[in-house]
Structure 1
Amino acid sequence: MTSLNTATDTPGRTDPAAVSQIDLGIGGMTCASCVSRVEKTLKKQAGVSEATVNLATESARITLAGAHDAETLARLKRAVRDAGYEPRTTDAMDDTTPARWMGVPVDFWPVLLGLLLSAPLVLPMVGDLFGKHWMLPAAIQFVLATPVQFVLGARFYKAGWHALKALTGNMELLVAIGTTAGWALSTWLWWRAEPGEMVHLYYEASAVVITLVLLGKWLEARAKRQTTSAIRALHALRPERAHLLPDGVRRIELTDVPVDELLPGDIIRVLPGERFAADGEVLLGHTQANESMLTGEAMPVAKQPGDFVTGGALNGEGAVEVRVRAIGAQSVLAQIIALVQDAQAAKAPVQRLVDQVAAVFVPVVLVIALVTLGGWLYLGAPVEEALLHAVAVLVIACPCALGLATPTAIMAGTGVAAQHGILIKDVQALEIAHRVDTVAFDKTGTLTVGHPRLQVIEAAAGVDELAVLQAASALQAQSAHPLARAVLDAAAARGLAVAPDAAQDVQAVAGRGGWGTVQGARLALGSLRWMDELAAPLGPLAERAQALQNEGATVSVLAAQNEAGGWAPLALLAFADEAKPGAAAALAGLRAQGMRLFMVSGDNRGAALAMAKKLGLRAEDGEVIAEVLPGDKAAVVHWLRQGGKGEFRAGPPQAESAPPRGAATGAAAERGGHHTVAMVGDGVNDAPALAAADVGLAMSHSQGGSSDVAMHAAGITLMRGDPMLVAAALDISRRTVSKIRQNLFWAFAYNTAGIPLAALGYLSPVLAGAAMALSSVSVVSNALLLKRWKPPVTELTTGTHKAGG
């Protein structure tokens, strides 16, 4: 059925409760003028706030102000039909494999019949090359050309008539007028000829033009099906059935059920070589999962009890039992498909230029054809010659390639990117990414492994270390923060059991830590900055805290509240993280491309500088921005966009200065003005910065994907936690935008060069028809070259960057 969905709640967008969307298939569109006409028709309907039509996918995404019902959908379909096009369901859009009759694809039969009927008409032209005169009698030419003109060409008359009624134009109108003129001229010349007189007729021009246009549209449709191959491949990943363990009981006899009937909490068994039927958690067994079609990672990933598995991944050599966690639209695979479809259905900003041109293109071409006809007649040319030149203008001017130039490149680019683990949700981000000159990285989980370990517990005098770990674990038992997990892992390693309700009144304080009550004592666990705000002097622990920071550790403090309401430190907890493999090489590769690089961290400056040294970042050039609260990361992005001079400070803009710490000195500081900033992050606290950046890239975790909030805020999602994918995302953006520009150049070039040549008599209608068909096929074929793209390779040893694909 037709896709009905509600807009997602993303920063800076309309409240989803007040907005709904409809995806509607539209058949019969052939050129940019058709797209413009359908969009105008849909936008005129009551309740429609926006309508975006994609020629390559033959679909429309309609945004309505408010909810919709069956009547709304019926009204929209009726409007599309009245405009001369065929409304379709999304199921029909997905069914791209044409049926066959007598071994020939059904959609190729009109082309085949046109070729068979047109071939005898072209035969005399071939004979002339060898000095042979094989001219067919006029009656036979009429019998061969008329079915091509009015039966196979009926689609052009139908669509052209609807365009005329709407006082607009499209490709079909141009073809219908041009070929009808050729056919009518030939019939008139035959009718007025004397009996037995051999007259030169032009039936072959009209018949061949129609056949070539049909052939071009068939080749175009065939090529367009390849641009949607990525979506079809993703759909094919999900198996149809799953092996269900009834009521969670492990037994030999399994019940096979359709995947659509699975529920969260079900336990399924996945046999070796099968695909995981749903997202879930491994309960029993060990195996490896091939997630290459989802993440682009070619190497299988080991899975054991407690690990997350993604529906659609290919199971390795082990049989495992999995508890289902997400189904349907909530699954990772469904979200990937939705993101890619959204990107392919959207309209790039550059397409606005095409829309503006298409709105006036056909009327201008009709005027040029009339001027051509009048001009040749004025110069004394015979009527038939003047008419043929006008027909050539009409035929070669068809704006098919113009309408396909942008969407085919976007479909191919987003499709191949998805195959390598790069999900481009926002087409605008794709178009902007090629201009990025500044990349800011969140530190924890993006450039580092994101699993810090608790390395040191420095207890105050008279405080037991195990008691400190027990109390800290109780406070962190319900937290998902990486430092909290590190505390819990350390407690588990020491054999300490932590009850879920060991702490009461636990409350997280954003960017600082958290507090609660443990065994009647009010405790706080958080950063050194928070301890300063709580007026909790470290006393003898201060020197040790500074030393740990200088070693690159992130230091937290466990403090207890006394009867007077003050706070007294109980212990220092020092955490350390590791850089991701390949992170330094990825940064070196981006630097080699001329990018400005920055690391944004909430950690203390000592820890940030220590990690920056491992990653090859230049602290002396201001590439390390430390001690940034989550709420200030968006301000960092705005600061970097303006040049990133001086030291970043939260709050209103300040006068530039040159403080010794954190100053953006050197080349990075000397370049002022506006910069295009990409922000790379992975967590909820990165969402504001991802939304504020020109291009936001949300990086997925290895277990269960990236934060949903981060994914919605970012225009691009990286399905692997691999910093190398940042360079790959920017590279596919550059290549896609390059293909769009190439396609638009050739589309405009065909028309700009072809129309004058046809008007001056250098192109016959047959050659014009061939050129017009070639223009559409060449534009789609050029876009398909993106399917060969591979991510760029960065050499780990040298730091050099090699372009892929």
Structure 2
Amino acid sequence: MTLSKLDLSIPGITCSACAGRVERALTTLPGISDIVVNPITKRAHMSLDGAKLPDIDAALTKAGYPPELVTTKLSIDGMSCASCAGRIERTLNARPDVAEAQVNLVAQTANVRHAPDLPGQTIADVVTKLGYPALVQDDAPTHQHHHEDEASLLKRRFLIALALTLPVFITEMGGHLFPAFHHWLYMNIGQQPLWIMQMILTALVLIGPGRSFFTTGIPALLRGGPEMNSLVALGAGAAFLYSAVVTLMPSLVPESSRFVYFEAAAVIVTLILMGRWLEARAKGQAGQAIRALMQLTPDTATALRDGVAVQVPVAQLHQGDLVRLAPGERVAVDGVIIEGSGTVDEAMLTGEPIPASKTIGDQVTGGTVNGMSSLTFRVTATGADTTLSRIVQMVENAQATKLPVQALVDRVTRIFVPTVIGLAVLTFILWMMFGPDLAHAVVAAVAVLIIACPCAMGLAVPVSIMVGTGRGAQLGILFRRGDALQRLAEARLVAFDKTGTLTKGHPEVTGLWTDGIGEDDALRLIAAAEAHSEHPLAAAILSAAEKRGLSLPDARDIHATAGRGLSAKVDGHDLLIGNAAALEEAGITILETLLRTEAATPVHVAIDGQHRATLALTDPIRPEAVETVRELHDLGLRTMMLSGDVQATADSVGRKVGIDEVRGGLMPDDKLRAIKEMGKGSVFVGDGINDAPALAAADTGIAIGTGTDIAIESADAVLMSGDPSGVARAIRLSRAVMRNIRENLFWAFAYNTALIPVAMGVLVPFGGPQLSPMLGAGAMALSSVFVVGNALRLRRAA
């Protein structure tokens, strides 16, 4: 499809110069003409002749003006194998107005990033025309019921097929196993009536429970995009038609080839239906962790309306509402406690088994469980804005992401089904040339069609991602992007920020030295200047002043400089508070008598241009930090600490924790440079706020969350608790997921590599067996069940 016009919103345009840069960036791309960039509306209009949105997106992003694209999520029915998913993905990505389309076979969904003027319904219609009914997610049934409904439908179809197939199987195979039974059937019923009975029952299997193989597979074959259903339809259909000809028009078939294979056609469909039923059940279990999270919030809550407690549906709660929480009750939505104190079990959020203490001003999160105290909180977020909803969305986004290893699978599955059909045709020709009769040729060709299983290949990666990311959510580890699983498994070096990561992030003033001014007077002036700062050290200084009962004067002309400190005017004095470099740059001499820092972070203070005081601040080391570093060493990883503190302070913390390499005195740019030098396999762990650039620069960034601060765009993964030991758990989990994927891929590829030649009959000239299509159908069905079942073992990982 050729799109003549494209209209993009570009929020970064602020002036005509910006518009010019956008226009020049677009002009460099081939296949674009009639470019008009409007700095007022912040939109770019263009005509396309061969250019596509991914190239436009990349060019504008590189120029610093990324376009505003939208994402549509589709719920898709009818995908049965990797060929289906690959066909949908290729069709959508071929559109010039689509930036990226990712199809998830396991979740039966597609995430499509596209131009804003492309309606989501149009995308759904494109997929539906391919033979896979699609709905925009807002209009689709909730995903949590999808696999359950699918499993129920497949179970019903399997049982009907089984009931119809058993008489066919028993009358045909029973006669082969027990000659006396064979003679009894032929004496009392006769061969022709038996074959007609088998034909009728098999036809009922094919047009009833097996109908979907034909209604989906044959149209896909005719459109030139054969998939797994096409193979089943060709195999079972060929076996049935050949047998029907032998039954109804035997004269058309050589006498030596007059055999029927109704039982093969019926059993093939029945076994594959059984495999898909078991697979759907297992896939439902794969998403169990996310469904469990979605079901955590209660349906009702006790709201205070004009001071009266009223039971209301959670959907009717709004920001600012007051909610009373009874002992043992589950929190309905996010909020801030305004009355009461107690403990709240946040295990579902952080993975921590010990309840967290809560008091007035503390946050509570929807889905957590109140302890034995009565609390009242003010609602701060509802619906999709709650922490729990964002967690679910984050995990689902990760599950929809393709790992780099998936590229190999996609290349294979793209040509797999056509190749299998070609091999089946080749098998038929060779058996006709060198085999004993037509019947053997048909059986061999059908066996090749049925034994091939791209389903297992297609499921190998996404089902492991689904289970692994779900397990991570249970452990308080949120992978924002699925590909972080693969990169984290390849980690070689883990670098930590110090403050708030290896330490508690709440420093304390442990020393104060002054020269020419009293300690209380110095602390009073310093605290007044720091009262308007959000720096962690400022809170420690204010806390120290509060403990001494000091009253603080007003400060004005406050100016902060990143990585240096701040200046202010307090009580008529000019203050400069910062590190040694800040004072030296201001031409202030550092007094050696005030350099006693006791391996703590020194904060120097100049008053009216003279160095008058130094504070020593220490940040307590987290009790879990030492164990975390030990676990990482046990996993064969090197560790590093990057800190803005002076080298002596950083070394002191590094020695206590057991870090391999410590780099102190780093400015933000130095930290970024150090991370880039680490190269491939580097992991950076930070608090997710101050360390955002470093998290983005690392090969894999892991943010230490606070339980509610999960929307950290720079990180690839988020640890919901403040416990750094989650880093080791995340790495163990990612390694388990990648090991599981390798096992699945080995099985899927080895299965096809080994059994397709056997089905073709390569062992027959050497006295080996010719594989029965029924055995092929059973093996094919079980291969998918094996892959999904193997992935489910990840529910106990880490």
Tell me which interval the TM-score lies in, with the shorter structure as reference length.
Answer: 0.7 to 0.9
Report if the CA contact (8 A) 2:121-2:136 is conserved.
no
How far does residue 194 in structure 1 lie from its aligned partner after superposition?
A: 7.9
1:491 match: 545
1:705 match: 709
Report if the CA contact (8 A) 1:39-1:53 is conserved.
yes
Distance 2:146 2:328 in 1: 27
2:143 match: 94
2:130 alignment partner AA:
A
Report if the CA contact (8 A) 2:705-2:721 is conserved.
yes
2:5 match: none
Cα pair distance change 1:688/1:86, threshold 3 Å: same
> Does 1:128 find its partner at 2:176?
yes
How far does residue 105 in structure 1 lie from its aligned partner after superposition?
A: 3.4
2:18 match: none
Cα pair distance change 1:633/1:166, threshold 3 Å: farther
Listed one character per residue, the Cα deviations across residues 243-263 of structure 1 (whole Å, up to 9, x for unaligned) are 2223xx6x3x31333333433
1:637-786 paired onto structure 2 within 5 Å: 637-641=675-679, 675-701=680-706, 704-705=708-709, 708=711, 711-760=712-761, 762-786=770-794
Cα pair distance change 1:436/1:176, threshold 3 Å: same
Distance 1:229 1:68 in 2: 36
Report if the CA contact (8 A) 2:103-2:110 is conserved.
yes
Secondary structure in structure 1 of the residue aligned to 2:722: coil
> Does 1:469 find its partner at 2:523?
yes
1:522 match: 574
Distance 1:523 1:47 in 2: 58
Secondary structure in structure 2 of the residue aligned to 1:441: strand
What runs of 5+ residues in structure 1 fail to find an aligned partner? 1-5, 642-674, 792-805
Distance 1:8 1:433 in 2: 33
> Does 1:534 find its partner at 2:572?
no
Question: Structure 1 residue aligned with 2:377, among 322, 329, 350?
Answer: 322
2:263 match: 204
Report if the CA contact (8 A) 2:646-2:665 is conserved.
yes
Secondary structure in structure 2 of the residue aligned to 1:214: helix
Report if the CA contact (8 A) 2:120-2:136 is conserved.
no
Distance 2:268 2:280 in 1: 18
Q: Percent identity?
A: 40
How far does residue 700 in structure 1 lie from its aligned partner after superposition?
A: 1.6
Question: Structure 1 residue aligned with 2:223, among 166, 177, 183?
Answer: 166
Question: Structure 1 residue aligned with 2:155, among 99, 108, 114?
Answer: 108
Question: Structure 2 residue aligned with 1:613, among 642, 655, 659?
Answer: 655
> Does 1:481 find its partner at 2:531?
no
1:187 alignment partner AA:
A
Secondary structure in structure 2 of the residue aligned to 1:684: coil
Distance 1:493 1:281 in 2: 26
- Relative to structure 2, which stretch is displaced further, 601-610 or 49-58? 601-610
What runs of 5+ residues in structure 2 fail to find an aligned partner? 1-8, 13-57, 187-192, 762-768
Report if the CA contact (8 A) 2:435-2:441 is conserved.
no
Distance 2:682 2:744 in 1: 27
TM-score normalised by L of structure 2: 0.86
How far does residue 505 in structure 1 lie from its aligned partner after superposition?
A: 3.5
Report if the CA contact (8 A) 1:98-1:107 is conserved.
no
How far does residue 469 in structure 1 lie from its aligned partner after superposition?
A: 2.4
RMSD over aligned Cα atoms = 2.6
1:436 alignment partner AA:
A
Question: Structure 1 residue aligned with 2:101, among 30, 45, 51?
Answer: 51
Cα pair distance change 1:529/1:788, threshold 3 Å: same
1:406 match: 461
1:650 match: none
Listed one character per residue, the Cα deviations across residues 352-374 of structure 1 (whole Å, up to 9, x for unaligned) are 11111111111111110011001
Secondary structure in structure 2 of the residue aligned to 1:273: coil
Listed one character per residue, the Cα deviations across residues 76-119 of structure 1 (whole Å, up to 9, x for unaligned) are 11111100001134352424267899xx9344211110000001
- Relative to structure 2, which stretch is displaced further, 133-142 or 780-789? 133-142
How far does residue 381 in structure 1 lie from its aligned partner after superposition?
A: 2.3
Secondary structure in structure 2 of the residue aligned to 1:299: coil
Report if the CA contact (8 A) 2:298-2:314 is conserved.
yes
2:232 match: 175
1:290-689 paired onto structure 2 within 5 Å: 290-461=345-516, 463-497=517-551, 502-539=554-591, 542-545=592-595, 547-548=596-597, 551-560=598-607, 562=608, 567-618=609-660, 623-641=661-679, 675-689=680-694
2:49 match: none
Cα pair distance change 1:151/1:410, threshold 3 Å: same
How far does residue 590 in structure 1 lie from its aligned partner after superposition?
A: 1.3
Question: Structure 2 residue aligned with 1:26, among 76, 96, 100?
Answer: 76
Distance 2:677 2:152 in 1: 58
Distance 1:772 1:19 in 2: 41
How far does residue 684 in structure 1 lie from its aligned partner after superposition?
A: 2.4
Distance 2:414 2:350 in 1: 41
Report if the CA contact (8 A) 2:154-2:276 is conserved.
no
How far does residue 390 in structure 1 lie from its aligned partner after superposition?
A: 0.1
Distance 2:778 2:668 in 1: 60
Listed one character per residue, the Cα deviations across residues 632-667 of structure 1 (whole Å, up to 9, x for unaligned) are 2111112233xxxxxxxxxxxxxxxxxxxxxxxxxx
Report if the CA contact (8 A) 1:630-1:685 is conserved.
no
Report which structure shows greater RCO (CA 8 Å, sep ≥6): 1
How far does residue 129 in structure 1 lie from its aligned partner after superposition?
A: 2.1
Listed one character per residue, the Cα deviations across residues 475-518 of structure 1 (whole Å, up to 9, x for unaligned) are 2223332211111222222234558xx33333321111222333
Secondary structure in structure 1 of the residue aligned to 2:73: strand
Secondary structure in structure 2 of the residue aligned to 1:298: coil
Question: Structure 2 residue aligned with 1:82, among 117, 129, 140?
Answer: 129
Distance 2:282 2:558 in 1: 59
Report if the CA contact (8 A) 2:600-2:617 is conserved.
yes
Distance 1:497 1:749 in 2: 76
Secondary structure in structure 2 of the residue aligned to 1:451: coil
Cα pair distance change 1:274/1:17, threshold 3 Å: farther
How far does residue 199 in structure 1 lie from its aligned partner after superposition?
A: 5.8
Distance 1:556 1:214 in 2: 71
Report if the CA contact (8 A) 2:221-2:227 is conserved.
no
Cα pair distance change 1:388/1:7, threshold 3 Å: farther
Report if the CA contact (8 A) 1:20-1:68 is conserved.
no
Secondary structure in structure 2 of the residue aligned to 1:762: coil
Report if the CA contact (8 A) 2:148-2:280 is conserved.
no
Secondary structure in structure 2 of the residue aligned to 1:152: coil
Listed one character per residue, the Cα deviations across residues 409-428 of structure 1 (whole Å, up to 9, x for unaligned) are 11111111110011111222
Distance 2:82 2:286 in 1: 18
Distance 1:325 1:99 in 2: 34
